[in-house]
Amino acid sequence: MGTGKTTVGRLVAERLGLKFLDTDIVIEERQGKTIPELFQLHGEAYFRDLERRLCRELSEERGLVIATGGGMPIDPDNRKILNSSGTVIRLWCSPSDILSRVGLGEHRPLLNASDPLDRVSQLLREREPSYAALPFQVNTATRDIDGVVERVLEIASAANRSKETLSVGVPRTGGYPVCIGDGVLSLLGDMLRDRGLTARVAVVTDTNVGPLFLGKVLSSLSTEGFVPFSCEIPAGEQSKSPAQLQYLYECFLDGRMDRRGAVVALGGGVIGDLAGYTAATYMRGVALVQCPTTLLAMVDSSVGGKTGIDLPQGKNLVGAIKQPLLVLADTGTLVGLPQAQVRMGMAELIKHTVIGDPELFRQLEQSDGRLSLTPELISRSVSVKIRVVEEDPYEFGRREVLNLGHTVGHALEKCSRYSMGHGDAVSVGMVAAGRISQRMCLCSSGLVDGLETVLARTGLMIRHTYNPEDLAAVMAADKKAVGGKVRFVLIRDLGLVEPGWEVNPNLVREVLEELRESH
Ligand SMILES: NC(=O)c1ccc[n+]([C@@H]2O[C@H](COP(=O)([O-])OP(=O)(O)OC[C@H]3O[C@@H](n4cnc5c(N)ncnc54)[C@H](O)[C@@H]3O)[C@@H](O)[C@H]2O)c1
């Protein structure tokens, strides 16, 4: 409220030749009552329900400029609907600016308080996590009305490049948007502007990705007034190391980045994990933007906030949960991605369909395996991960389902001394989990056959060459095994996957034997 959204919305609509709607006015007209009257007669919940219905209704329409009530984007479902049907821009200013604009009139039921300034500040604090999840932000205190209108028009035209915008809700600390589309990297500057960051932004990338996309990212940032600098590290898993962590700290210090600076991770999962962990710890934490450039990073590692580095003793032994400010997945970057890397991402994509998108699994089952990596496909897959991490942002339980195929997968990676790719290992692991589930009468053999077909058609491995005894020993020693007891994620049905199963070791060995290549 008080940020000028109705005035700005009207002017923007005029400039674009579109119809303008203010959701508060629509509700008042339809109900024949003012909002204060609705609050008084029926309570806030009744009003929010009207808002929710209107949000759904308007999402079916096109060619509108809509000013929403300030409470509408607080509801995560409303946010999802708004993001998927248009470009969402938050106008903001300070609590004192808001108060000086709205005054103390009775038409603002939420401001009925003895200290309105305190009340506005409190409301903003409560709502900030939801507002932070909106993709574009415009500070209305630093511009006059015309300036705000121009900025909104600029954003609206640039945002056409984003095909899919999702929103991840994180309790307490705030949510973040995930924009997926061909060319979205050029939106980076627009999306970072007005988020309260200082000018120095570090772009971390690797020696393969830098030459391809760094120029685009730096120019998008410079155009919007940032003073970016880049830190390039050698491509490959070996860079997720304490030495590269140290190098990045030094690079950030040399670049004079302070606490309100931001780190942009431009690359695959290695860059996302390393740059993310550096951002989580540099000066006790600075903002992080994930710009994934591999399929695996787009559908998996860039979302959920897990970051970390490896130690000589093992992978991912040091880490932190660091939620990004935003995720920009530019599908145009996937064009030159080596096929082996595409397959690695496909393993996670297929895993997501088993966990939470049966319809997409069926489509994959019926396809000939030649898939185009469209924003829609990536969005469907990452949506499953988003749903799971929203239920369990700090990995206390439900998130374990994402480890489907990983119990056997990790053991295969270890036994192969990491010569077997992670995606292939997870693929064989999923087949093993499927067969164990079927042998325990949890799911049908048809489902497991379908899973094998989909994985094999993508070119992923579904058999291994290792001794089941060796694999079982590695599994028992894994950091995720509790007291030597190996836990599996098992499949009851497509979309119905359960973590925490302790499986009879003899059955595990039998299934691993069945899947051994020589059989
Ligand atoms: N944080 C998480 O939740 C999470 C989840 C899964 C995996 N991971 C981690 O992700 C890492 C694996 O990620 P990855 O498979 O993306 O590996 P990667 O980052 O090493 O990228 C793979 C290779 O592709 C190159 N590359 C990246 N983008 C490219 C592009 N657009 N065109 C051409 N080449 C490109 C890279 O330089 C690299 O050589 C592992 O370290 C794993 O632990 C993290």
Tell me whether residue 422 is one of the annotated catalytic residues.
yes
Contacts for 309-315 with beta carbons within 8 Å, 24 or more apart?
309/240, 309/241, 309/242, 309/244, 309/245, 309/273, 309/274, 309/277, 310/237, 310/240, 310/241, 311/242, 314/479, 315/237, 315/240
Tell me whether residue 107 is one of the annotated catalytic residues.
no
Tell me whether residue 143 is one of the annotated catalytic residues.
no
Answer whether 280's CB lies under 8 Å from 288's CB. yes
From the candidates 306, 322, 351, 352, give the one annotated as an active-site residue: 306
Tens-level pLDDT at each residue, the chain (519 residues): 788 899 999 999 999 999 999 999 999 999 999 999 999 999 999 999 999 999 999 999 999 999 999 999 999 889 989 988 889 999 999 888 888 887 655 566 666 677 888 888 998 888 888 898 899 999 999 899 999 999 999 898 888 766 788 888 777 666 899 999 999 999 999 999 989 899 999 999 999 999 999 999 999 999 999 999 999 999 999 999 999 999 999 999 999 999 999 999 999 999 999 999 999 999 999 999 999 999 999 999 999 999 999 999 888 999 999 999 999 999 999 999 999 999 999 999 999 999 999 999 999 999 987 788 999 999 999 999 999 998 887 777 888 999 999 999 999 999 999 899 999 999 999 999 999 999 999 999 999 999 999 999 999 999 999 999 999 999 988 766 666 678 999 999 999 999 999 999 999 999 999 999 874
Dist CA 264 CA 290 (whole Å): 6
The best mutation among 206, 207, 294 to test binding of ligand 1, ranked by most ligand atoms within 8 Å of the C-beta, falls on: 294
Dist CA 286 CA 278 (whole Å): 9
Atom of ligand 1 nearest to the CA of 333: 31
How many angstroms separate the alpha carbon of residue 257 from the centre of ligand 1? 26
From the candidates 343, 351, 399, 464, give the one annotated as an active-site residue: 399
Phi, psi of 318 (to 5 degrees): -125, 130
How many angstroms separate the alpha carbon of residue 418 from the centre of ligand 1? 15
Atom of ligand 1 nearest to the CA of 235: 37
From the candidates 410, 414, 464, 487, give the one annotated as an active-site residue: 410
How many angstroms separate the alpha carbon of residue 269 from the centre of ligand 1? 4
Scanning the structure block, which residue is given the tokens 């780190």? 263
How many angstroms separate the alpha carbon of residue 274 from the centre of ligand 1? 11
* Confidence (pTM): 0.90
| Residues in contact with ligand 1 (CB, 6 Å cut-off) | 206, 208-209, 212, 235-237, 240, 267-271, 273, 293-294, 296-297, 300-301, 304, 306, 316, 333-334, 336-337, 341, 344
Dist CA 328 CA 229 (whole Å): 19
Tell me whether residue 399 is one of the annotated catalytic residues.
yes
Atom of ligand 1 nearest to the CA of 423: 15
From the candidates 322, 351, 406, 487, give the one annotated as an active-site residue: 406
Residue nearest ligand 1's atom 22 by CA:
268
Residue nearest ligand 1's atom 18 by CA:
268
How many angstroms separate the alpha carbon of residue 268 from the centre of ligand 1? 3
Give pLDDT, residue 392: 84
Contacts for 441-449 with beta carbons within 8 Å, 24 or more apart?
442/490, 442/491, 442/492, 443/491, 443/492, 443/493, 447/491, 447/493, 447/494
Residue nearest ligand 1's atom 4 by CA:
301
Residue nearest ligand 1's atom 32 by CA:
337
Residue nearest ligand 1's atom 19 by CA:
268
Residue nearest ligand 1's atom 13 by CA:
269
Residue nearest ligand 1's atom 20 by CA:
236
From the candidates 164, 224, 232, 348, give the one annotated as an active-site residue: 348
Tell me whether residue 519 is one of the annotated catalytic residues.
no
How many angstroms separate the alpha carbon of residue 1 from the centre of ligand 1? 42
Give pLDDT, residue 510: 96
Tell me whether residue 348 is one of the annotated catalytic residues.
yes
**What angle (nearest 5°) sits at the alpha carbon of residue 155, between those of residues 149 and 159?**
150
Give pLDDT, residue 160: 73
Q: Token pair of 29, please?
A: 């007209």
Atom of ligand 1 nearest to the CA of 271: 19
In order of 133, 330, 367, the CA distances from 293 in angstroms are: 22, 7, 25
From the candidates 240, 403, 413, 414, give the one annotated as an active-site residue: 403
